[in-house]
């Protein structure tokens, strides 16, 4: 055989093999399509999937009732169940064994989702989505209400606690105030013991509770007032006012006369006054000049004032204007150390005006808010010394226009009526704006205070009731009169019993 003949034979054989293979594949596919109803492989796969889902569902439906009840309690499961049913597609019948339960289940799903009542009678657990949703909502609402109630209770408890604390604070405050008042009155009484025993002790002796007010009563009152330290002018004025009051509206008894006297003295003492350090600040300090005769207590009072101003938050500088006595500067420095104030002094015998000029300047530079200037004691009867006082006053005004803002006259209560004479002289030389009355703790002559205020129309701002730093009280007319009259009133009441 030739080469061409051989090639032809092999070609025919190959063709025959290919034809055979093709036929066999075609016939296999045809047989499959006939079996599957023409749907092919994919169909079989889907059916198998559905069959599995149905089998699972059937198993769930035959689960015990307790499990279903549990499922009903769990909103998560309840939510899933209704969704699972519509998701399912009806399964086509297949010859696979899994199809049998699926076919039974297929008839059931529709009513499950549409009519919960129908499923309630099924042996499977009754799952009513609406009821379960309502239960879930109800439980949610209950929990919300409980949380709200808990919060409200907490808030109420907080408010009650705050109210109780505020009430307690008010109680404490009232107690503090009462204690403070009692202490203040007590302090006045302690400082005024002698004065009370003197003037007003006498008043208590002559006046009686329930006794008529007669001309004789006025004569007794006159004798007491004129021998007291109130001063003749003031005593006279007081008597005529009381007589007028009695004439216009008869006083019931002598106790009423005592009350009227108390009111009059209080109105004499109760003069308007600004706090001494008011408005003092760095750059615009309050400058206070302290004047008075020798030994009345100027330097001591300055130490106490500095202590008070520092306690009120001021920065205090003291000018040692008493260059006359060598010990005066040292004494002031001791007080400066005790109180915490800066002391500015000059050489011994230096011109007091120049010392006070530089004290005011230094106070301005150093940012002091209160500057207190001491001066040498001088006899009010010595004209040249009073002239020097005027010069100091002027020079301070050159260092700071408007200074000194206050001129505090220190008077010693123990000298009685003489204090009124001193006050007059000092007031003529410089404009006295306030009075500090010292040594009330050691005298029965405190009544002089009424004479000073009445004659000069200048307010008593402080009273000295001892030698210690704290022994300076802001003068309070009401408390002062309370302390003075308490014993007299007690005696008058006692006399009527
Ligand atoms: N008991 C008492 N003594 C005082 C009071 N004020 C000052 N003194 C005393 O009076 C004396 C003279 O005081 P001092 O300040 O040096 O007077 P100055 O000369 O005016 O400066 C001192 O022994 C002080 O202790 C006071 O209120 N009560
Ligand atoms: Mg002095």
Ligand 2 centre and the CA of 298: distance in Å? 5
Residues 309, 256 share a domain: no
- Tell me how far the alpha carbon of residue 231 is from its chain's centroid: 49
Distance CA 263, CA 268 (A): 9
How many helices (H) and strands (E) would you count in the chain?
A: 19, 8
Ligand with minimal distance to 303 CA: 1
Would you say residue 8 lies in a domain? no
Residues 392, 347 share a domain: yes
> What is the SS3 assignment for 444?
coil
Using a 6 Å cutoff on CB, does residue 340 contact ligand 1? Answer: no
Angle at Cα 276 formed by Cα 262 and Cα 334, nearest 5°?
Answer: 110
470: Cβ contacts below 8 Å, ≥ 6 apart: 304, 307
Please give the residue range of the domain that contains residue 237: 192-271
Residues 308, 247 share a domain: no
Ligand 2 centre and the CA of 60: distance in Å? 110
Distance CA 374, CA 330 (A): 13
Using a 6 Å cutoff on CB, does residue 303 contact ligand 1? Answer: no
DSSP code of 442? Answer: G
The pLDDT, as a whole number, for residue 192 is 75
Number of domains in the chain: 2
Question: For the CA atoms of 422, 428, 434, 436, what is the dihedral angle to 10 degrees?
Answer: -20
Distance CA 282, CA 254 (A): 55
User: pLDDT tens-digit profile of 174-194?
Assistant: 887 787 677 666 666 667 777
Distances (CA, A) of 408 to 307, 341, 396, 466: 16, 18, 15, 19
Residues 412, 330 share a domain: yes
Closest ligand 1 atom to Cα of 302: 15
Using a 6 Å cutoff on CB, does residue 438 contact ligand 1? Answer: yes
CA-nearest of 368, 376, 204 to 295 is: 376
Confidence of residue 66 (pLDDT cuts 50, 70, 90): very low
Residue among 300, 324, 376, 389 whose CB has most ligand 1 atoms within 8 A, to mutate? 300
Residues 352, 456 share a domain: yes
**CATH number of domain containing 261:** 1.20.120.140
User: pLDDT tens-digit profile of 453-469?
Assistant: 998 889 999 999 899 99
User: pLDDT tens-digit profile of 420-453?
Assistant: 888 988 988 899 999 999 998 888 788 888 999 9
Confidence of residue 134 (pLDDT cuts 50, 70, 90): very high
Closest ligand 1 atom to Cα of 410: 20
Tokens of residue 280, six digits: 């003092």
The pLDDT, as a whole number, for residue 363 is 97
> What is the SS3 assignment for 435?
strand
75: Cβ contacts below 8 Å, ≥ 6 apart: 132, 133, 136
| Residue 36 reports pLDDT greater than 80 | no
| Residue 86 reports pLDDT greater than 70 | no
Residues 449, 310 share a domain: yes
Residues 446, 329 share a domain: yes
Distance CA 105, CA 96 (A): 16
Residues 358, 420 share a domain: yes
Using a 6 Å cutoff on CB, does residue 469 contact ligand 1? Answer: no
Tell me what the mean pLDDT of segment 307-334 comes to. 91
**CATH number of domain containing 396:** 3.40.50.300
Distance CA 75, CA 361 (A): 87
Q: Among 66-80, 237-251, 389-403, where is mean pLDDT lowest? A: 66-80
CA-nearest of 431, 404, 437 to 269 is: 437
Residues 221, 349 share a domain: no
Tell me what the mean pLDDT of segment 147-175 comes to. 91
Using a 6 Å cutoff on CB, does residue 294 contact ligand 1? Answer: yes
Would you say residue 96 lies in a domain? no
The pLDDT, as a whole number, for residue 144 is 93
The pLDDT, as a whole number, for residue 77 is 41
Closest ligand 1 atom to Cα of 303: 15
Q: Which of 415 and 68 is assigned the larger pLDDT?
A: 415
Would you say residue 123 lies in a domain? no
Would you say residue 293 lies in a domain? yes
Q: Among 165-179, 180-194, 268-282, 468-482, where is mean pLDDT lowest? A: 180-194
Nearest residue (by CA) to ligand 1, atom 13, is 297
Distance CA 217, CA 220 (A): 5
Q: Which residue among 271, 304, 337 closes a domain?
A: 271
Q: Which residue among 236, 271, 306 closes a domain?
A: 271
| Residue 387 reports pLDDT greater than 50 | yes
Ligand 2 centre and the CA of 228: distance in Å? 29
Using a 6 Å cutoff on CB, does residue 414 contact ligand 1? Answer: no
Residues 447, 373 share a domain: yes
What's the mean per-residue pLDDT of the chain? Answer: 79
Residues 291, 240 share a domain: no
DSSP code of 124? Answer: S
The pLDDT, as a whole number, for residue 318 is 97
Ligand 2 centre and the CA of 279: distance in Å? 27
Residues 287, 413 share a domain: yes
The pLDDT, as a whole number, for residue 472 is 92
Confidence of residue 22 (pLDDT cuts 50, 70, 90): confident
């Amino acid at each position: 055989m030739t080469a061409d003949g051989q090639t032809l034979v092999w070609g025919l054989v190959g063709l025959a093999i290919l034809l055979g293979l093709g036929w066999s594949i075609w016939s296999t596919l045809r047989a499959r399509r006939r079996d599957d109803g023409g749907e092919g492989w994919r169909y079989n796969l889907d059916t198998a999937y559905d069959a599995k889902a149905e089998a699972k569902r059937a198993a769930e439906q035959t689960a015990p009732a307790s499990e279903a009840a549990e499922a009903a309690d769990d909103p998560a499961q309840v939510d899933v169940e209704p969704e699972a049913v519509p998701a399912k597609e009806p399964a086509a019948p297949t010859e696979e064994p899994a199809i049998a339960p699926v076919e039974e289940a297929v008839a059931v799903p529709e009513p499950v989702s549409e009519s919960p009542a129908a499923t309630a009678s099924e042996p499977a657990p009754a799952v009513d989505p609406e009821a379960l949703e309502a239960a879930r909502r109800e439980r949610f609402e209950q929990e919300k209400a409980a949380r709200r109630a808990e919060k409200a209770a907490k808030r109420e408890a907080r408010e009650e606690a705050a109210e109780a604390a505020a009430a307690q604070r008010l109680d404490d405050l009232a107690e503090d105030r009462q204690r403070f008042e009692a202490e203040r009155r007590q302090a006045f009484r302690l400082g005024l013991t002698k004065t009370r025993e003197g003037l007003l002790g006498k008043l208590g002796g002559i006046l009686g509770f329930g006794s008529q007010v007669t001309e004789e009563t006025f004569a007794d009152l006159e004798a007491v007032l004129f021998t007291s330290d109130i001063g003749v002018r003031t005593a006279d004025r007081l008597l005529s006012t009381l007589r007028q009051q009695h004439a216009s509206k008869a006083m019931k008894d002598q106790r009423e006369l005592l009350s009227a006297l108390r009111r009059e003295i209080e109105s004499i003492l109760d003069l308007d006054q600004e706090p001494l350090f008011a408005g003092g600040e760095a750059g615009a300090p309050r400058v206070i000049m302290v004047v008075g005769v020798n030994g009345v207590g100027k330097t001591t009072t300055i130490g106490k004032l500095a202590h008070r101003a520092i306690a009120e938050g001021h920065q205090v500088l003291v000018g040692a204007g008493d260059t006359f006595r060598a010990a005066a500067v040292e004494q002031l420095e001791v007080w400066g150390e005790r109180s915490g104030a800066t002391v500015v002094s000059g050489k011994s015998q230096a011109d007091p005006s120049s010392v006070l000029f530089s004290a005011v300047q230094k106070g301005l530079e150093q940012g002091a808010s209160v500057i207190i200037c001491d001066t040498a004691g001088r006899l009010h009867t010595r004209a040249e010394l009073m002239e020097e006082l005027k010069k100091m006053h002027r020079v301070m005004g050159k260092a700071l226009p408007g200074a000194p803002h206050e001129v505090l006259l220190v008077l010693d209560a123990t000298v009685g009526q003489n204090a009124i004479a001193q006050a007059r002289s000092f007031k003529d030389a410089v404009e006295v704006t306030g009075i500090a009355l010292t040594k009330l703790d050691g005298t029965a002559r405190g009544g002089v205070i009424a004479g000073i205020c009445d004659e000069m129309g200048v307010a008593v701002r402080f009273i000295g009731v001892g030698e210690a730093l704290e022994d300076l009280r802001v003068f309070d007319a009401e408390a002062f009169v309370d302390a003075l009259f308490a014993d007299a009133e007690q005696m008058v009441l006692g006399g009527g019993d």
